[in-house]
Structure 1
Amino acid sequence: MSTLHPSSRAVQVAGHELWLLAEKAIWWPQQQVLMVADIHFGKAASYRALGQPVPGGTTAGNLQRLDALLARLPCRRLIFLGDFLHSREGRTEHTLASLTEWRSRHPSLAITLVRGNHDRHAGDPPGELAIEVVAEPLLLGPFALQHEPARCPGHHVLAGHLHPAFVLRGRGRQQVRLPCFVIGDGLSLLPSFGHFTGAMTWQPDADQRIFVVGDGGVWEVPGPPNER
């Protein structure tokens, strides 16, 4: 039985407890399901193929964070909410070899990919990764697990795609933009899990709670949106 880590936050969504993790993922303890959005494997390699000077090591870093979560949580199923691979150019021998080696360390783990817009262009993961690939929505209990944040009648949508971030403002011109979870009425968003994926500044609606991620923790932004 897993215990809520001090860096995480538990929220009630559609009558179920979900944990918002500092690693920018969601854990559903009742079902022992880990949800990750927008990991974008091979994105840095895609840019390097275009001659752009971008850092390496992003695939290894993403896999290390996944390994840490899987070691800490009794996970029965890992669900990627879209954009597993960034592009066809990112399907390099090194990236695919790293993914194959990682999968070999978790042979009994059920893994599902809800196909996102980048997956449709990059192609599905290689068969040796043993990843079930489905179209959205993936209906699981009260939730519709999707990549695109479109409402699904009768279900609470958990989605990615938009890479939300929130700007915290201090004195004067001080401000910092942090990735965030957006928990709303019928639709909630995960931040992008992957390194080197960018973010979209989020302006919350009145029914949305914002939980920012930074410095190894998750914090709710207090007060109604017009007071933030």
Structure 2
Amino acid sequence: MNKKFLLSIVITVGLTFFLGITALDFTDLLSGPGWTPENDGFYGMDIVQWLLLFMPVYALELWHCENMLDQAFLYAYRYQKVQRWWLHTYGTLILQTVILYLCVSGCACIIMGNHLTKQIALPLFLIMLHSVFLLAFSIWIKMISGNMIVASILAVVLETAAKFMVVTQHLTPAHSPFSWGMYYYIRQNYGDGGFSVMVVAVIQLLVICSLLILVSRRGKVLLLRRISDGKVH
């Protein structure tokens, strides 16, 4: 376990406990920003707390991905083929994300003094899956544009805009992919227009798995463009 990942764990645990102390209701925060059974609102502080809940893990793993791509020429040769290096790199990113959210889950249980019940587990699962989905989305933007900053800013903007569009009823949660990490928007809670956990899980997993295209012959060309040393084969 490298020092960067240990630092990520410390940051994740620290922020989770910070949010547990500052949030009025940590259970509501896990379920999404500004929503109650009586009202769905768009409130700045709730949005900030929501982003602080899952964006740090996303941002840390995006940063790791950027470093891995920038330093690929130092390591890819060990795998003989750049495709093998990418499979290892992408698999590591996903595994690290899952581990970080297991840390968040443990912290959440400590904060609320509960065991890992369905009320806690399902929101955390949705947040974890959504974070990996955002990571995959951002890596695609990076691969296409070559700019990770654009990718990260776009993810934050879309996540915030999605909440606003749902609150103002321009979109339903079922048709708002960047709202799919919010537990209160599942069909059982939101009613008509809410999203199906199974459907959004499958769609997000497809997006996550789509990066495996980069191990194909055509995908390799795009991958090599984003590696600092084009001599890697």
When the two structures are superposed, what TM-score results if normalisation uses the length of structure 1?
Answer: 0.26
Decide which structure has greater strand share: 1
Larger Rg: 1 or 2?
A: 2
Using CA pairs under 8 Å that are at least 6 residues apart, name the structure with larger relative contact order, 1 or 2.
2
When the two structures are superposed, what TM-score results if normalisation uses the length of structure 2?
Answer: 0.25
Decide which structure has greater helix share: 2
